Amino acid sequence: MDSYAAAKETKNKSTSVVRTFLDAVTNHDFEKARSMVADDLKFIGVKATVEGADEYFNQMKQMKLKYDIRKVFSSENDVAVFYDIKMGDETVLAAGWYGFQGDLIKTIQVVFDSAKFGA
């Protein structure tokens, strides 16, 4: 397989992993979502930075977020997603950047206008 084909395969796989991950979180299937991230996951958000997959999912279980994907972009080991995030009665447009190490999500960085959530 040439380098272009290998890069395309990696890109497609990473995109699929992120879509499946977001679907699992939306459906509160945290065990499935957890299997797609590295143990040393780093999440950087508007309000906080979280180190470690277990701590990340402890917080996600409390927030009960729902994702509605609008657009996905990918480049080798990075996937960027524009999505609506619903938390309770509020919905906000956000951008998420997912970095990979091998087949696992290693970093997540999310930005959005936090005014709706009182930040």
| Domain map (residue ranges) of the chain | 3-113
Residue whose token pair is 């279980």: 61
Fold held by 3-113: Nuclear Transport Factor 2; Chain: A, (3.10.450)
Q: Judge residue 36's burial from the number of C-beta atoms within 10 Å of its C-beta, 0-12 exposed, 13-18 middle, 19 or more buried.
A: buried
Cα distance between residue 97 and residue 62, in whole Å: 22
For 83-118, the pLDDT digits (tens) are: 999 988 889 999 999 999 999 999 999 999 888 766
Choose among 72, 67, 65: nearest CA to 88: 65
Residue 110 near residue 87, CB atoms below 8 Å: no
Q: Does pTM surpass 0.85?
A: yes
